[in-house]
Structure 1
């Protein structure tokens, strides 16, 4: 029974870190795009904004899962590496956004929340997912 309680506590710890990192990722996407991301997705049903946010959340999730797997049952080390690699992933996604924005005519954030489908959102989503994969590979 003690092992079960311990395992549940460890799971809660990792879930908490994952939620915090995904929350930070959502805030970063919101800051990078004009208007309220929440309003764009839930009220205006903006598919571009949703794809951008989803790609960020999935990328962070992949990093968190990989860091947990690589921790090999060492909770303190696992929490530290999950947090560290998660932050690195978020920073790398932010830098990538800035770089893509510099290479894009106009403001990338505005293109990504345009009400009509825009191919720029798929480019940005692919960048998020690629960064998540790269950071995950670095963990292993």
Structure 2
């Protein structure tokens, strides 16, 4: 039982680090401090995009743990880190690529306070990239 608790703590720690890495990546891609845009400025756009990215990365971490658990704790933890970082990187790449093919600056739109429909496209792209990574793991 204590061994399982240790695994849970280790996986949760890695998962939280991956979620934080995703937050930092999005923060770098948007103007200003993302946390201020959401909690102080009440930007629904930023909250929607961050939520989609977080859910997607959570799915990646879950799938990496679930599919690699039988390979042993060390291997499974390693693959969780690898796939988590791949997910963060590919979400960032998708954001940049979407920014290149859409008018204006995506980072500016995402941090506006007034709702912008393009935010849903960005959120969907974050989830779609995560689903692709999840499919590659499974």
Alignment of 1:80 onto 2:78:
yes
Q: Residue in 2 aligned with 1:104?
A: 102
The alignment's TM-score, normalised by the length of structure 2, stands at: 0.96
Q: d(CA) in 2 for partners of 1:37 and 1:117? A: 16
Root-mean-square deviation (Å): 0.8
TM-score, with length taken from structure 1: 0.95
1:93 equivalent in structure 2: 91
| Number of corresponding residues | 137
- 1:114 is aligned to 112
Aligned twin of 1:14:
11
Question: Within 1, Cα distance between the matches of 2:27 and 2:136?
Answer: 27
**What corresponds to 2:20 in structure 1?**
23
- Following TM superposition, the consecutive aligned residue runs of length 4 or more in structure 1 with deviations greater than 6 angstroms are none
- In 2, Cα distance between equivalents of 1:93 and 1:44: 24
Task: Kindly state the Cα deviation for residue 72 of structure 1 after the two structures are TM-superposed.
Answer: 2.9
Which residue of the other structure, out of 25, 40, 44, is the alignment partner of 1:43?
A: 40
Gapped runs of 5+ residues in structure 1? none
Mean alpha-carbon deviation: is it higher for 15-24 or for 68-77?
Answer: 68-77
Deviation of the 1:35 alpha carbon: 1.1
Partner of 1:139: 137
Q: Find the counterpart in structure 2 of residue 33 from structure 1.
A: 30
In structure 2, which of residues 63, 66, 70 is the aligned counterpart of residue 69 of structure 1? 66
Unpaired runs of at least 5, structure 2: none
